[in-house]
């Protein structure tokens, strides 16, 4: 099933998720550095990375949500996509809570509940990331019809199966 929201022939959701994923994981790494060094600069950097990661996650969710509505009802992909999406909403809520708790205090000295929320968000994010991989790699969601090892370039105007007209939309 091809993505409904593409840029230069590629799924926008799959392009956007790398930003919040990288920001939020790195925020947790920087929190670990803060915990080991007690240098408040690491916690402050983490605070801003969380803010950017939550905003990026909300932006990445929009094309993912549009693609989810295109998945046929009653399929395993529809159910996996639902759990992937709902789980990622919880991930963003956990990180937003972590950010808010840091904001209430001093961003350079996050309280324990803020750190727990971030690490819980990353743990759940591992599960939802696996579900996203299941959608693409196993169930073919967001993959061009006819994709193969010798498919033409996405900018060529040809379909992945070598045809010259746009692929037929399937509901």
62-76: pLDDT as tens digits: 999 999 999 999 999
Residue partners of 19: CB distance under 8 A and separation at least 6: 52, 53, 56, 60
Task: For the chain, give the mean pLDDT.
Answer: 92
Residue 165 pLDDT exceeds 60: no
Total domain count, the chain: 1
The Cα–Cα gap between 29 and 25 comes to 6
The Cα–Cα gap between 96 and 169 comes to 37
Residue 7 forms part of a structural domain: no
Residue 158 forms part of a structural domain: no
Residue 104 pLDDT exceeds 90: no
Residue 170 pLDDT exceeds 60: no
Domain that residue 48 falls in? 13-138
Residue 34 forms part of a structural domain: yes
Residue 96 forms part of a structural domain: yes
The Cα–Cα gap between 49 and 20 comes to 9
Residue 146 forms part of a structural domain: no
Is the model more confident about 104 or about 56? Answer: 56
Residue 166 forms part of a structural domain: no
Residue 4 forms part of a structural domain: no
The percent helix, strand, coil of the chain (3-state, each to 5) is 65, 0, 30
């Amino acid at each position: 099933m091809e993505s409904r929201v593409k840029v230069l022939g590629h799924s926008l959701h799959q392009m956007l998720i790398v930003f919040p994923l990288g920001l939020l994981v790195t925020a947790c790494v920087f929190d670990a550095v803060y915990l080991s060094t007690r240098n408040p600069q690491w916690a402050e950097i983490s605070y801003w990375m969380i803010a950017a990661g939550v905003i990026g996650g909300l932006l990445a969710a929009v094309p993912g949500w549009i693609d989810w509505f295109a998945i046929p009802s009653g399929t395993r992909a529809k159910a996996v996509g639902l759990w992937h999406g709902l789980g990622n909403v919880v991930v963003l809520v956990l990180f937003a809570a972590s950010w808010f708790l840091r904001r209430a205090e001093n961003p350079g000295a996050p309280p324990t509940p803020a750190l727990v929320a971030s690490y819980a968000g990353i743990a759940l994010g591992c599960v939802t990331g696996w579900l996203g991989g299941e959608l693409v790699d196993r169930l073919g969601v967001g993959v061009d019809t006819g994709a193969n090892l010798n498919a033409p370039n996405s900018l060529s105007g040809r379909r992945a199966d070598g045809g010259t007209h746009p692929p037929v939309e399937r509901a």
